[in-house]
Amino acid sequence: MTSSTVMNYDIENDDSFTQPVGRWSVLYYGSGHMLNDITAACWFTYLLLFLTDIGLSPRGAAAVMLSGQIADGFATIFIGELIDRFGHFKIWHGAGSVLVAVSFSSVFGGCMPCRILSTSTLKVETISYCVFAAIFNVGWAATQVAHMSMVNCITLNSTSRVVLTSCRNAFTMVANLSLYAIAFIVFSVSTAKTHADLENQYRWIAYSSIFIGCCFVGIFLSRTEEPRLKMGLRGNSHARISWAYWFKKILYYQVALVYMLTRLVVNVSQAYLAFYVINDLRMGQSAKALEMAWTGQRLKAYYSAGGILWVFCGAGILILPMNMSAFMLLE
C-alpha cells in the first residue's frame, strides 16, 4: 500500500471530516469573501456615478463596466479549471485579494496612466479605467472561485456545508450594509462644493471599503487552514468528472438560469438605482446610501418571497410620483 493510498484511506475514514464544523471555523470562513462583497457593492452602486461625475461620457462609463464583466466571465472559467487541477485555495484567494485591492483603489484613485503620460485625454482615461476594471474582475473571480470551492473540501458533512455557505451569504449582507453606512456618513459629513470634493467623497468610500475588506481577508487567511480533503482525495478511486458532463444535466441549466437572473436583478438594481435617486428624484447625496439575501421548501419560500417583494418594489418605483420621493427609502 503506497503512502498516497494510506493518506486517502485515513482521510476518508477520519471522523473529523464528517463531524459538524465548529462555530468559529464557520465565522472565519465566512469572513473570507468580505473584501469581494464590499467592493462589489461599491462597484455596482457608485462606479457609473463616479465615472460620469469625473467627466467620462455615458458610453465610456458603460465600456468600463462592460470590460470588467467580460474579464470576469472568462476569468471565472479558466481560474476555476486551474484551481480544480492544482488546488492551493488560499494562495489563489490571497493573490486575487491583492489584485482586487490594488485595482479597485486605482480605479477610484484617478487615472494613473494619465499622470504618468502627463495627458488627460478622454480616450486615455477610458482605456485606463477599462484595464483596471478588467484586472479588478480577474482578481475578484480568483477570490470568489477559491473561496466558494473550499466548502466541499473543508468537510464531508452536508449540514456544515450549508452552514458555511449561509455564513458566507450573511457576510455579503453585512458587507452591503457596511458599504452604505460608510457612504451615508461620508455624504452626510462632507459637502461636495467643487468637482474635487466630489471625487474625494468617492475615494473615501472606496478606501474605507478596501481597508475593512482587507482586515477580514487577513482574519480568513490567518485563521482558516488549507483544506486537506482536496489533497487527500486526489489520485484515489474517484474519477475526475469532465466539464462537458454538466452540459448534459438539466439541473445545471436550471441552477444557472436562476443564479443568472438573480444576479441580473441585483446588479441592475445597484447600478441604476443611485442614478434614479439623484438625477430623477433630485434627492440628496446621502440618499444614495439608504438603499434598504434549511430545508429545500424553506429555501424556495424565502427565494420566492424575495422575488415577489422585488417585483412590487420595482412596480412602485415606476408609479411613484416626484412629490413622494421620500418613499424611495422604503423601496
> pLDDT tens for residues 115-124?
777 777 888 8
Which H or E run contains 211?
helix 195-223
Checking 126-133 for CB contacts under 8 A at 24+ apart, the result is: 126/56, 126/60, 126/63, 126/64, 129/51, 129/56, 129/60, 129/64, 130/63, 130/64, 130/67, 130/68, 131/67, 132/103, 132/106, 132/107, 133/64, 133/65, 133/67, 133/68, 133/71, 133/103, 133/107
Position 93 scores a pLDDT of 96
Mean pLDDT, residues 272-294: 57
| Statement: residue 6 has pLDDT above 60 | no
Position 235 scores a pLDDT of 44
Position 237 scores a pLDDT of 42
pLDDT per residue as tens digits for the range 124-173: 889 999 999 999 999 999 999 999 999 988 888 888 888 999 999 899 98
Average pLDDT taken over every residue of the chain: 80
**pLDDT confidence of 3, banded at 50, 70, 90?**
very low
Which residue would you say has higher pLDDT here, 84 or 326?
84
pLDDT per residue as tens digits for the range 47-80: 988 898 888 888 999 999 999 999 999 999 999 9
Position 20 scores a pLDDT of 83
| Statement: residue 295 has pLDDT above 70 | no
Mean pLDDT, residues 247-252: 88
State how far Cα 88 lies from the chain centre: 21
Per residue in 60-72, is it b (16+ CB within 10 Å) or e — as a string?
Answer: bbebbbebbeebb
| Statement: residue 103 has pLDDT above 90 | yes
Question: Measuring CA to CA, which residue among 119, 129, 104 is closest to residue 54?
Answer: 129
Give me the DSSP letters along 89-134.
HHHHHHHHHHHHHHHHHHHHT--HHHHHHT---HHHHHHHHHHHHH
Mean pLDDT, residues 237-259: 78
Q: Is 194 helix (H, G, I), strand (E, B) or coil?
A: coil
Q: Is 7 helix (H, G, I), strand (E, B) or coil?
A: helix
State how far Cα 157 lies from the chain centre: 26
What is the share, in percent, of the chain residues with pLDDT greater than 90?
A: 36
Distance CA(149)–CA(172), nearest Å, equals 17
Mean pLDDT, residues 230-256: 70
Q: What number of CA atoms fall less than 13 Å from residue 281's CA on the CB side? A: 24
Give this prediction's pTM. 0.77
**pLDDT confidence of 192, banded at 50, 70, 90?**
confident
| Statement: residue 294 has pLDDT above 50 | no
Distance CA(75)–CA(91), nearest Å, equals 16
The DSSP call for residue 32 is G
Distance CA(89)–CA(32), nearest Å, equals 12
Helix, strand, coil % in the chain, rounded to nearest 5? 80, 0, 20
The cell numbers describing 330, all together, are: 422604503
Query: Amino acid identity of 148?
Result: M
